């Protein structure tokens, strides 16, 4: 994860599209655009201008796309993912584009949960270049999300001779956290991070975020807090990190902090959802909560009309916790489970089944948890409630 290897993993952020927004008046500030004097924006404008003049310059196009992918996460702005795809337009629809384009295409495809075509591209890249560390890492990420832990372990193992130790160990620990080896994986990753102080900041953020989630899942709240804060100090606008920390704060009943944390980040549907949940938890901001619920409903309805199924997990949380419709939430959670199987997917499926009073519907997840020896105190609590029929 150095150079493109590092940028691509962290920027496999989920593409988010929102419904058109109509401001209340011409005086309302909708968005603060990047300053034209910003060196990053100046460089991007220069690269775009050059690419417009030479649209077939693949080296320039992939360099620009990589920059955009990096900004998508660092700036909490999914529109950069669309800009990245546009930069690759001359090659995007080719069945066998050049390897650099194909790797970027796989990254963008998996960001919108198009996992099969993403995996097809990754396998093609690796068949031609078995030493491509970025392809192994991206493949491991997709395999972990889909629950192919054996495949992910193999992909991570390939990294050991191609990248720095922290990349390999974080990759392996991510699998271990989902397969009954959470504490040992956490200890190994923590030790590796301690001796990797010179690793790129983005890589440290990845490791720290995973470590924080591991601590959170075993109810070590103080340790999780420390790790989240360390990660935020390095990357305060990382959209995945903001969402994970917001969920932690919601669990801790610290809704005021969530509202402050996400004050300027609600372009992302998942972050707007968390702010709405915080407002609901506060109980004294009904007007703001109603506005957020209305906005989320419009965004999710627009996504449904487009056939966009990327955010079914977030939509399930919306239906369950904000609209109080467990039947719809369970339907969405079940569909989401067919696509991805991360800790948050387990929890929303179990919680939806519990509130729908349908323990039988949770059987696929219960079987999965038992098979993989999943360790998560929140999931365990939900399972006990389901089994008790409460």
Tokens matching residue 328: 């719809």
| Cα four-point dihedral sign 232, 236, 239, 243 | positive
- Which helix (H) or strand (E) covers residue 297, if one does? helix 286-306
For the structural domain made of 181-252, what CATH number should be given? 1.25.40
User: What is the per-residue DSSP string for 137-186?
Assistant: HHHHHHHHHHT-HHHHHHHHHHGGGTS-HHHHHHHHHHHHTTTT-HHHHH
For the structural domain made of 1-10+39-163, what CATH number should be given? 1.25.40.10
Residue 383, SS3 per DSSP: helix
- Which helix (H) or strand (E) covers residue 262, if one does? none
Q: What pLDDT score was predicted for residue 306? A: 82
Domain ranges in the chain?
1-10+39-163, 181-252
Grade residue 390 by pLDDT with cuts at 50, 70 and 90: low
Q: CA 116, CA 217: separation in Å to the nearest integer?
A: 29
Q: CA 199, CA 206: separation in Å to the nearest integer?
A: 11
Q: Which long-range contacts (CB under 8 A, 24 or more apart) does 248-253 make?
A: 248/212, 248/216, 248/221, 248/224, 249/278, 250/274, 250/277, 250/278, 250/281, 251/216, 251/378, 252/221, 253/281
Query: Would you say the CATH fold of 181-252 matches that of 1-10+39-163?
Result: yes
Which value, to the nearest 10 degrees, does the dihedral of the CA atoms of residues 234, 189, 220, 265 take?
30
Instruction: Indicate the average pLDDT of the chain.
Output: 90
Q: What pLDDT score was predicted for residue 29? A: 43
| Cα four-point dihedral sign 374, 379, 381, 386 | negative
Question: Residue 18: how many CB atoms within 10 A of its CB?
Answer: 18
Q: What pLDDT score was predicted for residue 2? A: 41
Tokens matching residue 210: 């995973």
Share of the chain above pLDDT 90, in %: 81
Tokens matching residue 156: 């991570």
Tokens matching residue 322: 């904000």
Of the two residues 330 and 21, the one the predictor is more confident about is 330
- Residue 106 contacts residue 138 (beta carbons within 8 Å): yes
- Residue 176 contacts residue 141 (beta carbons within 8 Å): no
Grade residue 111 by pLDDT with cuts at 50, 70 and 90: confident
Lowest mean pLDDT across 41-45, 77-81, 244-248, 345-349: 77-81
- In tens, the pLDDT along 131-187 reads 999 999 999 999 999 999 999 999 999 999 999 999 999 999 999 999 999 999 999
Identify the CA nearest to 319 among candidates 339, 303, 333, 308.
Answer: 333
Of the two residues 386 and 20, the one the predictor is more confident about is 386
| Cα four-point dihedral sign 227, 162, 374, 108 | positive
What value does the CA radius of gyration of the chain take, rounded to a whole number of Å?
A: 21
Tokens matching residue 9: 């993993």
- Which helix (H) or strand (E) covers residue 86, if one does? helix 79-87
Cβ within 8 Å of residue 17, ≥6 positions away: 78, 302, 303, 306, 308
Q: CA 390, CA 380: separation in Å to the nearest integer?
A: 14
- In tens, the pLDDT along 216-252 reads 999 999 999 999 999 999 999 898 999 999 999 999 9
Question: Residue 34: how many CB atoms within 10 A of its CB?
Answer: 13
Burial 237-258 (b: 16+ CB within 10 A, else e): ebbbbbbbbbbbbbeeebbeeb
- Residue 231 contacts residue 215 (beta carbons within 8 Å): no
């Amino acid at each position: 994860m150095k150079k493109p290897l590092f940028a691509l993993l962290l920027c496999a952020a989920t593409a988010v599209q929102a419904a058109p927004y109509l401001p209340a008046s011409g005086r309302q500030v909708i968005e603060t655009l990047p300053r034209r004097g910003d060196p990053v924006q100046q460089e991007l404008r220069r690269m775009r201008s050059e690419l417009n003049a030479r649209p077939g310059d693949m080296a320039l196009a992939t360099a620009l796309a990589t920059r955009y992918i990096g900004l998508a996460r660092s700036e909490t702005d999914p529109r950069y993912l669309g800009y990245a795809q546009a930069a690759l337009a001359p090659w995007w629809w080719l069945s066998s584009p050049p390897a650099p384009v194909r790797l970027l295409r796989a990254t963008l495809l998996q960001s919108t949960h198009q996992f099969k075509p993403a995996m097809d591209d990754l396998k093609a890249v690796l068949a031609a270049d078995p030493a491509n560390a970025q392809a192994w890492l991206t493949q491991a990420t997709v395999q972990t999300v889909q629950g192919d832990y054996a495949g992910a372990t193999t992909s991570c193992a390939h990294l050991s001779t191609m990248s720095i130790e922290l990349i390999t160990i974080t990759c392996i620990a991510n699998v271990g956290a989902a397969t009954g080896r959470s504490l040992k994986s956490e200890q190994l990753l923590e030790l590796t991070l301690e001796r990797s102080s010179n690793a790129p900041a983005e890589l440290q953020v990845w490791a720290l975020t995973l470590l924080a989630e591991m601590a959170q899942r075993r109810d070590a709240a103080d340790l999780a807090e420390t790790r989240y804060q360390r990660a935020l100090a390095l990357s305060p606008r990382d959209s995945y990190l903001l969402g994970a920390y917001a969920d932690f704060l919601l669990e801790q009943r610290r809704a005021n902090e969530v509202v402050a944390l996400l004050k300027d980040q609600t372009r992302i549907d998942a972050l707007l959802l968390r702010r709405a949940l915080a407002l609901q938890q506060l109980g004294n901001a009904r007007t703001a909560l109603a506005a957020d619920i209305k906005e989320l409903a419009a965004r999710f309805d627009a996504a449904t009309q487009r056939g966009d199924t990327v955010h079914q997990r977030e939509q399930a949380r919306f239906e369950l916790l904000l609209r109080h419709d467990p039947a719809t939430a369970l339907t969405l959670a079940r569909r989401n489970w067919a696509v991805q199987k991360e800790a948050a997917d387990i929890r929303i499926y179990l919680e939806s089944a519990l509130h729908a009073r349908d323990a039988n519907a949770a059987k696929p997840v219960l079987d999965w948890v038992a098979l993989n020896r999943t360790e998560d105190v929140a999931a365990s609590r939900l399972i006990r409630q389901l089994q008790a029929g409460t």
